[in-house]
Chain A
């Protein structure tokens, strides 16, 4: 019960910029400071703002227009965690009492949401705060001069203690200083106390990790090496697919892949619900490989339709068909069928050629072949999943595509008319088998 996903902490070039990943959940935190007038009620204390942004990058259902319930909850939690526990010594942020104080701003952006945002966000905020350096200020009589970070080394913030959110409780070096019960589980006193103890240990661990990461970072900075996100991206690329490290990485592809992983899992669940029958995961793979066959077969239409595209990217275009199939009409995709059939009849030679090409491409990295197929489909499924989750209609569309596959496969060799494939599609509706 004490297990948790691996925490990794990366720092950016600027002070106060860090990215924390808790397994697949990724959160970016940035601390910035400004000189402002203090509150009238507290003239010698600095200001601190915490802001959590759930960008649509984190999960497809996150919307730009603030603020969903989860966002509000996160915001409030982190505010409690950081502000109310007064971990930052606000009085040290004062420059000139009643006139100028530092106003700190902690912005937290959720890059990838895969559970337990609270932990990740609090760890990120904490790390960013401890990493941040305020510009040095000297007061010469009436003037206050803010020194450029290049001229004078900036000063780190003074944190009294390190509050970390650990799912159940917020701790302060062993003393319980805040408790947040998420969810509504019926528990007895004992369990709460047990949880509290365990959380204390865990919090200590996390703080230790943060401190060691900070130390490492200061060491590398002292040496003069530049610190930036290239390392974090490199590392996670290595984790994801164990490839050779490059200085320029496709960060987006990694995210997309993670998104598709996540989506694929939920996709499987949806299929279960719809059928009400236990399906093995291998069956999904079969379906997906069927889909990929469709890829090869229907390479032609798009190849011709978008003739002006560079030939190199033809392979990438193949994936459009399944997406097009899904996004098309609600009912059976009549027009796409006819297109394919027509083109098939006319250009059988081309079909063979292109099928061969794609075969070649597929088999070029033979041991990676199977993986490749699945990967194609993952992205497809992502497209389809964007639609689903809202209504049942989308699921029918998914079935439809599978139906079309099977329908088309049956009519492939003969090149028969549209009507036959339409009919087969229609027959599938009441039957609903894989």
Chain B
């Protein structure tokens, strides 16, 4: 999945056999693994992993596959801003392509609040350097509810609500992109 200059590769394995310690009798155990391009995975990456894990767990019909595990592996290829959103979107595409049942699709949009209190959607790394806060929202495709939100920096409540609304509108683009992709690649998926 490439968004501008940010590229992410995702692989989904599952439902597969799970180790006895992770076995869940009523649903599948969803695991996420996030690998940065360079350096060993660090705490920051673990945070990404947990966000991805929770997002995917809510969107998957995990109860259809008890006592198995579904692994989502994400490798960062290029980082030019909006990496978390890119990762979530590519994970959703991978899950779609793998054929595991999902309750809804998810789309993530990242935005930032610059020093002059301007709201920029999908910023690049250069723009992010000059930011007060950066926010990433994940929406579902059915009711456009917020599935997850991840923020860094400081901002006011009003700014949060504003950016939430703007990103919600932007997520429509991503959903229509999914639809286009599926139409074009339906015979391959």
Contact = CB atoms under 8 A, between A and B. Distances in A.
B22 interface: no
Interface stretch (B95-103, B114-122, B147-155): B95-103
B61 interface: yes
Interface stretch (B50-58, B68-76, B131-139, B159-167): B68-76
Q: Which of A105, A313, A319 has the most CB of B within 10 A?
A: A313
Given A14-B78, A57-B73, A256-B94, A386 B37 contact: no
A77 interface: no
B82 interface: no
A112 B184 CA distance: 25
Interface residues of A, number: 65
A252 B39 contact: no
B5 interface: yes
B5 A226 contact: yes
Q: Is the interface of A mostly helix, strand, loop or mixed?
A: mixed
B103 A308 contact: yes
A309 B78 contact: no
Nearest to B141: A310
B78 A255 contact: no
Contact of B142 (A30, A257, A310, A323): A310
B179 A365 contact: no
Interface in A232-260: 233, 241, 243, 246-253, 255-257, 259
Contact of B90 (A252, A320, A372): A252
B78 A229 contact: yes
B40 A51 contact: yes
Contacts of B99: 316-317, 319-320, 323, 379, 383
A230 B9 CA distance: 12
Given A55-B73, A251-B1, A228 B7 contact: yes
Interface string A45-69: 0000001010111001000100000
A252 B2 contact: no
Contacts of A390: 17
B75 A229 contact: no
Q: Which of A51, A316, A371 has the most CB of B within 10 A?
A: A316
B111 interface: no
Nearest to A32: B38
Contacts of A204: none
B97 A320 contact: no
Nearest to A62: B73
B12 A252 contact: yes
A250 B39 CA distance: 26
B74 to A, nearest CB: 8
Contact of B187 (A17, A312, A368): A368
A433 interface: no
Given A13-B5, A64-B33, A250 B64 contact: no
Interface in A307-335: 308-310, 312-313, 315-317, 319-320, 323-324, 327
Contacts of A327: 15, 65, 67-68
Contacts of B103: 306, 308-309
B11 A259 contact: yes
A241 B40 CA distance: 35
A154 B68 CA distance: 49
B1 A111 contact: no
Contacts of A317: 99, 101
A148 to B, nearest CB: 11
A107 interface: yes
A21 interface: no
A371 to B, nearest CB: 7
B35 interface: yes
Nearest to B3: A248
Nearest to A51: B40
A208 B115 CA distance: 49
Contact of A105 (B39, B65, B71, B97): B39
A109 B35 contact: yes
A135 interface: no
Contacts of B35: 53, 55, 109
Nearest to B13: A60
B188 A253 contact: yes
A387 interface: yes
A111 B17 contact: no
Contact of B94 (A252, A320, A372): A252
Nearest to A319: B99
Contacts of B67: 327
B177 interface: yes
Interface in B4-32: 5, 7, 9-17
A5 to B, nearest CB: 20
B47 interface: no
Contact of A252 (B1, B16, B105): B1
A57 B101 contact: no
Nearest to A31: B38
Contacts of B96: 313, 316
Given A107-B39, A248-B181, A306-B103, 16 more contacts: A28-B37, A30-B37, A30-B38, A55-B73, A105-B38, A109-B37, A228-B5, A229-B7, A248-B1, A251-B10, A253-B93, A255-B9, A310-B104, A310-B105, A313-B102, A313-B182
5 contacts: A57-B9, A229-B7, A256-B94, A309-B103, A310-B105
The 5 closest A-B pairs by CB, nearest first: A386-B16, A319-B99, A57-B11, A252-B94, A30-B38
Interface of B: 1-3, 5, 7, 9-17, 33, 35, 37-40, 61, 64-65, 67-68, 71, 73, 75, 77-78, 80, 90, 93-94, 96-105, 141-142, 177, 179, 181-182, 184-189
